[in-house]
């Protein structure tokens, strides 16, 4: 994912949004719940577990 895509997603994150991403190596899917420094996302998996993923390792799930 490019930095500008990361920035656009971060500007739209809120309680009413459901931006989901898939980790391209781990093949896990989760909801973005926060944007962190250095282009990282905090992601909540369907199991409720929280992960920190780099923008370089994810793609948006449409």
State residue 16's pLDDT score. 79
Q: How many domains does the chain have?
A: 1
Strand, helix or coil at 50? strand
* Phi, psi torsion values for 11, nearest 5 degrees: -75, -15
State residue 15's pLDDT score. 75
Q: Which domain holds residue 44?
A: 3-60
At residue 62 the predicted structure's pLDDT band, cuts being 50, 70 and 90, is confident
State residue 13's pLDDT score. 87
CATH number of residue 28's parent domain: 2.30.30.40
Over residues 4-58, the pLDDT tens digits come to 999 999 998 877 788 999 999 999 999 999 999 999 999 999 999 999 999 999 9
Q: Cα separation of 12 and 49, whole Å?
A: 22
């Amino acid at each position: 994912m490019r930095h500008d895509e990361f920035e656009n997603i971060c500007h739209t994150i809120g309680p009413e949004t459901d931006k989901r991403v898939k980790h391209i190596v781990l093949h896990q899917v989760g909801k973005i719940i926060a944007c962190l420094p250095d282009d990282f996302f905090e992601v909540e998996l369907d199991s409720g577990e929280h992960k920190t993923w780099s923008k370089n390792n994810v793609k948006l799930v449409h």
